[in-house]
Amino acid sequence: MQRQKTLRHVIGCGGVGLHSGARIGLTLRPGAEGSGIRFRRVDRPGSEPIPAHLDRMMEAPLGTSLGQRPGTSVRMVERLMAALVACEITNALVEISGPELPAMDGSALPFVRLIECAGTVEQDLPVPRLEVLRPVSVAQGDAFVRLEPADGLEIVIEHGRGAVRPPFRFAFSPEATKRELAAARTAAEPAEGARFADEPARREALHALGDIALIPARLEARYVHRGAGPGLRRTLLCRLLADPAAWRLSEPVEPVTTVSASAARSRFAPAFLS
């Protein structure tokens, strides 16, 4: 049984936003069990924390953005979300002093190291498990994303149509994420070159993992992707949650209980799907 976790200590860092060019401070704070991941803009006094939920995901040309409607938004959250997944953090308050997360080195690795420095604490509540029961897919031109039933979480990144290279396959575990995905960069390649021969595919897998984390449950499915961005992923995840026959939510308590589709829908599906 996997239990929820939070940070042991408050920790922070600073950096420059990739798009705004602004100097941005980032502080990670422990969160109460069941509170989830939340973002707060400390440069906007009085603004409410933004839950890292699928229903707060906003259309954006680059990266994943979360926001209140109307009101405050936070951009470029996918790398930190993936780092939180890699470190098994389910509850935390993320405070930032600008409109986007600091770019750091363009990867999730600095965030992983920051979390590891803070340490983690196991909490009492279990982590819910969302199991995909039948395929769900979305396509737009040559791009597509699909979820299929599987044991655990597998991410498959297919190359462009007609490519002869085999797809990149990643079987999720916290340690594998730190080892195989966290260092893949999203920014322009620096002078020293790529960190992996297949870095673009690993970067796409990292982004997908960060967006999947916007469902507040451990997803068990095979995620297959070709040329898709955050908007198409959002559509896919919304389509999944809109079909109660396509998934089952379980809470691994003793004895194991399965939450009804209606109860799970009210707790985990975005408000605009209800």
3-state secondary structure of 221: strand
Q: Is the pLDDT of residue 271 over 60?
A: no
At residue 93 the predicted structure's pLDDT band, cuts being 50, 70 and 90, is very high
DSSP characters over 98-135? SSB-B-TTSSSHHHHHHHHHH-EEEEEEEPPEEEE-S-
Q: Where in the chain is the domain with CATH 3.30.1700.10?
A: 129-273
CATH superfamily of this structure's domain 129-273? lpxc deacetylase, domain 2 (3.30.1700.10)
Q: What local confidence, expressed as pLDDT, does residue 193 receive? A: 79
Tens digit of pLDDT for each residue in 31-60? 999 999 999 999 999 889 999 999 999 877
Separation of alpha carbons 161 and 138, rounded Å? 16
What would the CATH number be for the domain defined by 3-126?
3.30.230.20
Q: Is the pLDDT of residue 62 over 80?
A: no
Q: CA–CA distance from 134 to each of 80, 120, 167, 196 (Å)?
A: 30, 35, 22, 33
Q: What local confidence, expressed as pLDDT, does residue 223 receive? A: 98
HSE of 91 in the Cβ direction (CA atoms, 13 Å)? 20
Q: What local confidence, expressed as pLDDT, does residue 190 receive? A: 53
Q: What local confidence, expressed as pLDDT, does residue 251 receive? A: 64
At residue 187 the predicted structure's pLDDT band, cuts being 50, 70 and 90, is low
At residue 68 the predicted structure's pLDDT band, cuts being 50, 70 and 90, is confident
Cβ neighbours of 24 (radius 10 Å): 20
Mean pLDDT of 184-201: 78
Tens digit of pLDDT for each residue in 232-267? 999 999 999 999 999 999 865 333 334 444 444 444
Closest by Cα among 141, 136, 159, 143 to 230? 143
Q: Where in the chain is the domain with CATH 3.30.230.20?
A: 3-126
Poorest-pLDDT segment among 10-14, 44-48, 147-151? 44-48
Q: How many residues are listed for the chain in this entry?
A: 274
Q: What local confidence, expressed as pLDDT, does residue 261 receive? A: 43
Cβ neighbours of 161 (radius 10 Å): 9
Q: What local confidence, expressed as pLDDT, does residue 260 receive? A: 42
pLDDT above 90: percentage of residues in the chain: 77
pTM here? 0.89
Q: What local confidence, expressed as pLDDT, does residue 186 receive? A: 74
Q: Is the pLDDT of residue 89 over 60?
A: yes
The gap from C-alpha 71 to its chain's centroid, in whole angstroms, comes to 22
How high is the mean pLDDT of the chain? Answer: 89
